[in-house]
Amino acid sequence: MTSAAPWATQPYSIKRDGLTLVNCDDEPVRTPGCIQAHGALLVLRQADLSILQASENTLVILGRAAAELLGQSVAAVVQSAGEVRLRNVLDTEPTECNPIYAFTLPAGEQVAAMDVTVHTLDGVVMVEFEATGRSPSTQIVGEEMPGPKNQPDYYSLIKKTVTRLQTMQTVQTFCQALADEVRLLSGMDRVMIHKFHADHHGEVFAESCGSDLPPWLGMHYPAEDIPKPTRDIFTKTWIRPVPDISGALAEMMPLVNPDTGKPVDMTYCALRGASMMYAEYLKNMGVTACLTLALRRDNLLWGLIACHQYSGPRHVPYESRAACEFLAQVGSLLHKSVEDRENAAYRIQLEEVHQQLLKNAAQEGGLACMTDGAPSLLSAMQAGGAALFHRERWWRVGQTPSEVQLEALGQWVVQRLDTGSLARPLYATQSLAADYPPGAAFADVASGLLAAPLSRSGENLMMWFRPEVEKTINWRGNPHYEPKVTGPHGSRLTPRRSFELFSESVHQQALPWLQVEIDAAARLRTFIMELVIERAEQLAGLNADLARSNEELDAFAYLASHDLKEPLRGIHTYAHQLSESAPADEGEKRKLQALIRLTFRMDSLLDSLLHFSRVGREELTLENVDLNEALADAMEMTGSLTGNCRTQIVAPRALPRILCDRVRIGEVLVNLLSNALKYNDQSAKRVEVGFIDAHESALRTGFPQTTDGQTVYYVRDNGIGIASHHFDQVFKLFKRLHGREEYGGGAGAGLTIVRKLVERHRGQVWPESAVGEGTTFFFTLNPARGNQHA
pLDDT (tens digit per residue) in 581-611: 766 577 777 777 767 666 665 665 555 555 5
CA angle 430, 435, 438 (to 5 degrees): 100
pLDDT for the residue 506: 67
> Which range marks the domain in which residue 642 is found?
622-779
Reported as a pLDDT band with limits 50, 70 and 90, residue 544 is low
Same domain, 641 and 573: no
648-650 vs 686-692, strand pairing mode = parallel
Which of 125-129, 589-593, 764-768 is predicted with the least confidence, judged by mean pLDDT?
589-593
DSSP string, 236-249: T-SEEEES-TT--E
Give the chain's mean pLDDT: 79
Q: Which ranges of 485-637 would DSSP assign to H, the alpha helix? A: 515-580, 586-617, 627-637
Per-residue confidence (pLDDT) for residue 616, from 0 to 100: 58
Q: Is residue 730 part of a domain?
A: yes
Separation of alpha carbons 310 and 287, rounded Å: 5
DSSP tag of 18: -
> Would 647 be classed as within a structural domain?
yes
pLDDT band at 249 (very low <50, low <70, confident <90, very high): very high
> Could you give the count of Cα atoms lying within 13 Å of 689 in the half-sphere of its Cβ?
25
For the stretch 58-69, pLDDT in tens is 999 999 999 999
Among residues 262, 291, 314, which one ends one of the domains?
Answer: 262
744 pLDDT above the threshold of 60: no
pLDDT given for residue 7 in this prediction: 33
pLDDT in tens, 74-123: 999 999 999 999 999 999 999 999 999 999 999 887 788 899 999 999 89
Separation between Cα atoms, residue 226 and residue 205, nearest integer Å? 16
Query: What's the average model confidence in pLDDT over 619-641?
Result: 82
CA-closest candidate to residue 710, choices 730, 729, 693: 693
Please tell me which residue, 146 or 650, carries the higher pLDDT value. 650
Co-location of 557 and 646 in the same domain: no
The per-residue pLDDT for 22 is 43
Residue 775 phi/psi, 5-degree rounding, is -140, 145
Query: Rounded distance, CA 452 to CA 367, Å?
Result: 14
Q: What is the mean pLDDT of residues 684-694?
A: 87
Q: Do 560 and 684 lie in a common domain?
A: no
Residues 235 and 294: their CA atoms lie apart, in Å, by 7
Are the CB atoms for 686 and 785 separated by under 8 Å? no
- Band (770; pLDDT cuts 50, 70, 90): confident
Do both 572 and 679 map to the same domain? no
Residue 691 in domain: yes
Residues 597 and 706 in one domain: no
Q: Same domain for 572 and 677?
A: no
Helix axes 515-580, 344-364, angle to 10 degrees: 10
Please enumerate, as own/partner, the contacts of 676-679 that have beta carbons within 8 Å and a separation of 24 or more. 676/715, 676/716, 676/717, 676/719, 676/775, 677/638, 677/641, 677/642, 677/643, 677/647, 677/717, 678/641, 678/743, 678/744, 678/746, 679/717, 679/719, 679/720, 679/743, 679/775
H/E element holding 339? helix 318-342
Helix (H) or strand (E) run with residue 687 in it: strand 686-692
Cβ neighbours of residue 247 closer than 8 Å, sequence gap 6 or more: 36, 37, 38, 313
Asked whether residue 361 carries a pLDDT value surpassing 60, the answer given is yes
pLDDT of residue 482: 56
Q: Report pLDDT digits (tens) over 166-216.
A: 889 899 999 999 999 999 999 999 999 999 988 888 889 999 998 889 898
Residue 674's pLDDT is 84
Confidence class for position 243, pLDDT limits 50, 70, 90 = very high
In tens, the pLDDT along 416-469 reads 886 555 455 788 988 898 899 999 999 888 888 998 888 766 678 889 999 988
| Lowest mean pLDDT segment, chosen from 161-175, 272-286, 577-591, 729-743 | 729-743
Q: Pick from 213, 228, 262: which residue ends a domain?
A: 262
Q: Which of 227, 262, 297 is the last residue of a domain?
A: 262
pLDDT score at 78: 92
Helix axes 586-617, 750-760, angle to 10 degrees: 10
Distance CA 387, CA 704 (A): 25
**Contacting residues for 637 by C-beta, under 8 A, at least 6 apart:** 666, 670
32 and 138 housed in the same domain:
yes
- The answer, yes or no, to whether residue 25 has pLDDT greater than 60, is no
Please tell me the predicted confidence (pLDDT) of residue 267: 92
Q: Provide the 10 A C-beta neighbour count for residue 735.
A: 14
Cross-strand pairs, 221:
202
Q: Report the CATH number at residue 255.
A: 3.30.450.20
- Name the nearest CA neighbour of 732 among 745, 748, 708: 748
**Which strands, in side-by-side order, build the sheet including 448-453?**
393-398, 385-390, 461-466, 448-453, 427-429
User: Does the residue 278 lie in any domain?
Assistant: no
Can you tell me the mean pLDDT for 720-730? 78
Establish if 654 belongs to a structural domain: yes
pLDDT score recorded for residue 134: 56
Residues 593 and 674 in one domain: no
Cβ pair 677, 642 in contact under 8 A: yes
Lowest-confidence region among 144-148, 202-206, 522-526? 144-148
**Cβ distance 783 to 717 under 8 Å?**
no
If asked whether residues 647 and 610 sit together in one domain, one would say: no
| More confident position, 24 or 306 | 306
Between 554 and 739, residue with greater pLDDT:
554
Q: Which phi-psi region, left, alpha or beta, contains residue 534 (left: φ > 0; alpha: ψ -120 to 50)?
A: alpha
User: Domain for residue 510, yes or no?
Assistant: no
To the nearest 10 degrees (0 to 180), the angle between helices 344-364 and 318-342 is 50
Sheet holding 712-717, edge to edge: 648-650, 686-692, 712-717, 775-779, 765-769
List, in sequence order, every residue forming a beta bridge with 427; answer none if it has no partner.
Answer: 451
Are residues 98 and 25 both part of a single domain?
Answer: yes
Asked whether residue 596 falls in the same domain as residue 661, the answer is no
Is 479 part of a structural domain of the chain?
Answer: no
Domain co-membership, 39 together with 110: yes
The number of folded domains in the chain is 3
* Contact (CB, 8 A) for 472 and 505: yes
Is residue 536 situated within a structural domain? no
Cα–Cα distances in angstroms (integers) from residue 423 to residues 117, 389, 456, 501, 522, in the given order: 38, 21, 11, 41, 10
